[in-house]
Homo-oligomer: A and B are copies of this chain.
């Protein structure tokens, strides 16, 4: 299929990024569409691909969640219990499939991101790696033995529980489900609620970043001890460059050489890293998924 082009969609709570791409990983054309109610948003998404001048052979969608990824389920491809009411129980994959009648692959936005990083970015040639986003929420995607991790549903890595020293940080956490889970303590909105200022506005030497690094380091320990990844990639608006040195140092200190791997004990600068694909990881993941959807459909 030398002339194939693929449709990639990064479906987010504030915007949809849509792109036309080639199997080389190059993007021909892309657009940002603000997320409104599904009917309006999807009309714009479909119009973009219909008017791009080339037939799309498959789509890949990395979406906000939770989403139903069980192929046998009657609501496969639906966004499920999201707090965004108008999107609840919306058939995201089916809407695209019916509009174009080509294969459509769907996964979480963070699984799309780790897939793109494993194909073209910071997780190339790795078998097991994590992509974590720290922004409006905290989410994590993983490849294990080279494949996206699913399981019972999909991981919800932002909702792990970590130590919370109330004497140091009396902020109770703002997760509506769990209070002071990781997302409740360390997401962008938690930083803003605790300090009154957004992370992007705080000076780099503000104590907020030490606390943030400490919380994320507890999370790194838990993900490392549970999944044993070969690399952790951190993206999202909160992950400013000055957090990385704090996060690496604190993670290494908490692990205390127990996980005896030189990647951690000697080369942690290359173990906890920003995305190589920057904010393109999500949409490029959609592209990787579309390519794999057409391969499956070719059988």
For the residues of A in contact with B, the DSSP-based class is loop
Q: Is A154 an interface residue (CB 8 A)?
A: yes
B145 touches A128 (CB 8 A): no
Interface residues of A, Cβ cutoff 8 Å to B: 66, 80-81, 127-128, 140, 144-145, 147, 149-164, 177-178, 180, 218, 221-230, 254, 256-261, 263-264
User: In chain B, what residue has the closest Cβ to A164?
Assistant: B163
B226 touches A178 (CB 8 A): no
A260 touches B80 (CB 8 A): yes
User: A161 touches which one: B127, B180, B222, B228 (CB < 8 A)?
Assistant: B222
Bound complex: CA A222 to CA B180 (Å) = 13
**Closest CB-CB distance, A156 to chain B, in whole Å?**
5
Question: Contacts A144-B149, A149-B144, A161-B221; is A227 near B228 (CB within 8 Å)?
Answer: no
Question: Contacts A145-B147, A222-B226; is A161 near B261 (CB within 8 Å)?
Answer: no
Chain B residues in 8 Å Cβ range of A224:
152
Chain B residues in 8 Å Cβ range of A127:
151
User: A226 touches which one: B153, B155, B163, B259 (CB < 8 A)?
Assistant: B155
19 contacts between A and B (CB under 8 A): A80-B260, A128-B152, A144-B144, A144-B149, A149-B228, A150-B228, A152-B224, A152-B228, A152-B259, A152-B263, A153-B261, A155-B225, A155-B227, A155-B228, A160-B221, A161-B163, A163-B180, A177-B258, A178-B254
B227 touches A226 (CB 8 A): yes
Bound complex: CA A270 to CA B253 (Å) = 38
A160 touches B226 (CB 8 A): yes
Bound complex: CA A198 to CA B66 (Å) = 43
